């Protein structure tokens, strides 16, 4: 969004007490700063002077503390990193649409392998005319695509299936989704190089990690046209935690399909029924049957400012958050500040990209009475993010994965923001 529209949308100064304005901001954007504002007069602002030497790369300000948090299964927070199975993005401290590279969420099934790119190879074989082996350098010489997409662990949101722990942040509840710009070789280019058999409609993608994570991928027109083997992340080589030196990127699909440390693609006629697509990433319904091959990530959104464990002041508050959909572009985001009784449309930062997170915001004057705030997104296909009650009615509470119900934050009379089910 431009600064012009932001200014237009602000309440007139007469409506906003200085205390309320500063309070709202400090609960939001400035939550990342470790020091409260102390320069009440311009005379208090420290003098200018020569700064530190220029470096080979730039670090964050010492006043900014941004960290992911390693966690385990639902409710298992503050775990030792050796017991962690994922590490979550601090959305409550971030702005804009792009997740900083080192804060992109991570889910790894057998740690982060230390791979020498000179010794890494990608084997593409199976039902093909010409099985080939590629090096990282081979991939970098090929025509490339660059695209901003979200990647989301299917476990994102899993803290709230059965109950809502009040004292959690949006990092705990929604820290398993992030958006980066990825660069790599279109899958279609590789398919043409090996000359895939026309009847081979499924592809096995396998990683070079200790677990050899592998998934069967249906070669729909959409997937063949959009998937790519990435070696670049936000303009630099992939970070090891995100698949260095190469990974599959599957825009809009389960994070687990975006195989990291990719070392093998095999073409065949049917899914392989790997451990991850049978025992793991399937959703147990109330009937006791499990939904399988629910590969696409659903329409979703969450308010990040203000969100869990923040405290706001009466008066002007800017509500902001992120929305995303595996079906395409977000068409609109609505926000309710009265517990889902009435809804108002939020502004979306432009341009809105397909299968990428988009920042939304809305101005709000809080009257100081306890209430609940909640967002709901609608994508360009018309999919509406469900309310929790209808979502649970359809999925039960045992599915573990693919939670995309609306996230509600309660606000008490002191302005304390807490996680609630609805």
Q: Is 180 exposed, middle or buried (0-12, 13-18, 19+ CB in 10 A)?
A: buried
Q: Is 116 exposed, middle or buried (0-12, 13-18, 19+ CB in 10 A)?
A: exposed
Instruction: Show contacts with other proteins in window 341-360 (CB under 8 A).
Output: none
Whole-Å CA distances, 96 to 1, 46, 348: 9, 29, 11
Residue 202 vs 343, nearer CB to other proteins: 202
Phi-psi region for residue 80, left (φ > 0), alpha (ψ -120 to 50) or beta?
Answer: beta
Q: Which helix (H) or strand (E) covers residue 414, if one does?
A: none
Q: For residue 363, list its beta bridge partners.
A: 318
Instruction: Measure the CA–CA gap between 43 and 193, rounded to whole angstroms.
Output: 67
User: Which one of residues 20, 24, 175, 271 is an interface residue with other proteins (CB under 8 A)?
Assistant: 271
The two structure tokens encoding residue 275: 């451990």
Whole-Å CA distances, 222 to 118, 197, 255, 296: 32, 18, 17, 12
The residue among 232, 222, 294, 224 whose CA lies nearest residue 265 is 224
- What is the closest distance, in whole angstroms, from the C-beta atom of residue 24 to other proteins in the complex? 41
133 near other proteins, judged by CB under 8 A: yes
- What is the closest distance, in whole angstroms, from the C-beta atom of residue 134 to other proteins in the complex? 4
Residue 140 vs 239, nearer CB to other proteins: 140
- What is the closest distance, in whole angstroms, from the C-beta atom of residue 272 to other proteins in the complex? 5
- What is the closest distance, in whole angstroms, from the C-beta atom of residue 289 to other proteins in the complex? 5
- What is the closest distance, in whole angstroms, from the C-beta atom of residue 139 to other proteins in the complex? 8
- What is the closest distance, in whole angstroms, from the C-beta atom of residue 302 to other proteins in the complex? 24
110 near other proteins, judged by CB under 8 A: yes
Three-state secondary-structure class, residue 153: coil
- What is the closest distance, in whole angstroms, from the C-beta atom of residue 173 to other proteins in the complex? 21
Look at the block and give the residue holding tokens 């825009």.
251
393 near other proteins, judged by CB under 8 A: no
120 near other proteins, judged by CB under 8 A: no
Task: Map residues 157-196 to x or -, x wherever contact with other proteins holds by CB under 8 A.
Answer: -----------------------------x-xx--xx-x-
Instruction: Show contacts with other proteins in window 292-321 (CB under 8 A).
Output: 292-296
Instruction: Show contacts with other proteins in window 220-259 (CB under 8 A).
Output: 220
Q: Which helix (H) or strand (E) covers residue 184, if one does?
A: strand 177-186
State CA 64 to chain mean position distance: 21
Residue 222 vs 371, nearer CB to other proteins: 222
Q: For residue 150, list its beta bridge partners.
A: 179
Residue 192 vs 236, nearer CB to other proteins: 192
User: Which one of residues 72, 132, 148, 420 is an interface residue with other proteins (CB under 8 A)?
Assistant: 132
The C-alpha angle 376, 381, 384, rounded to 5 degrees, equals: 20
Instruction: Show contacts with other proteins in window 198-227 (CB under 8 A).
Output: 201-202, 204, 206, 210-212, 214, 218, 220
User: Which residues in this chain contact other proteins in the complex, by CB under 8 A?
Assistant: 109-110, 123-125, 130-135, 138, 141-143, 186, 188-189, 192-193, 195, 201-202, 204, 206, 210-212, 214, 218, 220, 263-264, 266, 268, 270-275, 278-279, 282, 284-296, 397-398
């Amino acid at each position: 969004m431009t600064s012009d529209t932001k200014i237009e949308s602000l309440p007139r100064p007469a409506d906003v007490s200085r205390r309320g304005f500063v309070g709202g901001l400090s609960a939001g954007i400035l939550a990342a700063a470790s020091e409260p504002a102390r320069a009440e007069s311009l005379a208090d602002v420290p003098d200018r002077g020569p700064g530190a030497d220029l470096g080979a790369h730039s670090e964050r300000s010492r006043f900014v503390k941004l960290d992911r948090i390693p966690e385990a299964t639902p409710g298992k927070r503050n775990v030792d990193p050796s017991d962690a199975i994922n590490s979550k993005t601090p959305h409550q401290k971030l702005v804009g649409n792009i997740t900083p590279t080192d804060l992109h969420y991570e889910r790894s099934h057998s740690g982060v392998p230390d791979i020498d790119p000179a010794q890494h190879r990608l084997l593409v074989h199976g039902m093909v005319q010409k099985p080939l082996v590629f090096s990282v350098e081979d991939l970098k010489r090929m025509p490339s695509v660059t695209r901003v997409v979200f990647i989301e662990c299917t476990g994102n949101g899993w803290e709230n299936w059965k109950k809502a722990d009040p004292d959690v942040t949006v990092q705990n509840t929604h820290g398993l989704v992030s958006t980066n710009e990825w660069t790599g070789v279109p899958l279609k280019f590789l398919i043409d190089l090996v000359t895939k058999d026309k009847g081979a409609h499924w592809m096995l993608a396998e990683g070079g990690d200790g677990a050899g994570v592998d998934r069967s991928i249906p070669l729909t027109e959409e997937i063949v046209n959009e998937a790519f083997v990435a070696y670049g992340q936000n303009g630099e080589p992939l970070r090891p935690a995100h698949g260095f030196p190469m990974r599959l990127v599957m825009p809009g699909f389960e994070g687990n399909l975006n195989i990291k440390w990719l070392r093998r693609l095999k073409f065949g006629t049917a899914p392989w029924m790997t451990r991850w697509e049978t025992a793991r990433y399937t959703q147990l319904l109330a009937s006791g049957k499990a939904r399988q091959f629910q590969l696409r990530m659903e329409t979703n959104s969450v308010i990040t400012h203000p969100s869990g464990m923040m405290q706001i002041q009466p008066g002007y508050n800017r509500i902001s958050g992120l929305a995303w959909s595996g079906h395409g572009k977000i068409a609109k985001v609505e926000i309710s500040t009265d517990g889902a009784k009435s809804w108002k449309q939020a502004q979306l930062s432009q341009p809105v990209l397909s299968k990428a997170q988009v920042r939304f915001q809305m101005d709000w004057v809080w009257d100081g009475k306890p209430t609940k705030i909640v967002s709901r997104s609608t994508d360009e296909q018309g999919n509406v993010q469900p309310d929790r009650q209808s979502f649970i009615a359809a999925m039960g509470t045992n599915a573990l994965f693919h939670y995309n119900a609306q996230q509600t934050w309660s606000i008490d009379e002191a302005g304390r923001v807490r996680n609630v089910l609805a």
